């Protein structure tokens, strides 16, 4: 698949099979990620690949967030809520937490942009390899407890979680507003 086809046909795939994904395919996604542009050549990305029981790291984060927000539940209800939230981390056989680890004295927005480009490279590579993937964020990406779970520094942040596996849903064609409606050509100053 060429790059233009991959860009135009990639879609977020939220439902994947539980089948394990070969390590070589995951490594290809990570290899593609590190080739993302980064203005200061700081390579500000960090990856945490969770498979098998390793996904429990994220499961605990989901459960802890839900428990913090739960009010008026008895012990059994709280246990059920925690169990339900934990299952979110098992929706895909591979989850890659991606963090921004900004270099000192560099604009954080540029460091974050580089990591976002790395995630896009991962998603495109997954698609080209026949995998389905989705980039998720949500409260788990923004909480201090998540940063602690992955051993991140105070200045680091989680850019998101890439859930990947073999697609278990029909992939519908995308629809976009034509670029002409979003573009202004400036030909003179």
Give the per-residue pLDDT at 14.
95
DSSP secondary structure letter of residue 16: B
**Domains, in order of start, for the chain:** 3-182 (3.40.109.10)
Q: Report whether pLDDT(29) > 90.
A: yes
φ/ψ of residue 75, rounded to 5: -60, -40
Confirm if 83 and 156 have CB atoms less than 8 A apart: no
Helices and strands per DSSP (H, E), number in the chain: 7, 4
pTM: 0.95
Average pLDDT over residues 119-145: 97
Give the per-residue pLDDT at 72.
87
Nearest to 147 by CA among 135, 138, 156, 137: 156
Neighbouring-strand partners of residue 165: 132
Neighbouring-strand partners of residue 51: 94
What's the rounded Cα separation, in Å, for the pair 93 and 85? Answer: 16
Cα distances (Å, whole numbers) of residue 54 to 85, 130, 181: 16, 23, 45
Q: What are the tokens at 6?
A: 């991959």
179 falls in which pLDDT band (50, 70, 90)? very high
Q: Report whether pLDDT(71) > 90.
A: no
Average pLDDT over the chain, rounded to whole? Answer: 96
Give the per-residue pLDDT at 166.
98
Give the per-residue pLDDT at 1.
81
Average pLDDT over residues 90-97: 98
What's the rounded Cα separation, in Å, for the pair 120 and 151? Answer: 24
Q: What are the tokens at 154?
A: 């105070």
């Amino acid at each position: 698949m060429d790059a233009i086809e991959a860009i135009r046909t990639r879609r977020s795939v939220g439902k994947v099979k539980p089948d394990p994904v070969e390590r070589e395919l995951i490594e290809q996604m990570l290899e593609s990620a590190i080739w993302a542009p980064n203005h200061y050549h700081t390579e500000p990305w960090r990856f945490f690949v969770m498979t098998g029981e390793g996904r429990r790291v994220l499961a605990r984060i989901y459960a802890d967030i839900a428990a913090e927000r739960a009010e008026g539940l008895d012990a059994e209800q709280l246990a059920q809520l925690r169990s339900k939230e934990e299952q979110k981390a098992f929706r895909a056989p591979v989850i890659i937490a991606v963090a921004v680890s900004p270099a000192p004295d560099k604009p954080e927005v540029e460091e974050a942009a580089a990591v976002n480009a790395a995630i896009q490279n991962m998603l495109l590579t997954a698609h080209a390899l026949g995998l389905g993937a989705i980039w998720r964020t949500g409260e788990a990406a923004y909480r201090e407890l998540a940063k602690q779970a992955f051993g991140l520094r105070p200045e680091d942040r989680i850019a998101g979680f890439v859930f990947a596996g073999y697609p278990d849903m029909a992939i519908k064609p995308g629809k976009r507003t034509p670029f002409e409606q979003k573009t202004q050509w400036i030909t003179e100053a």
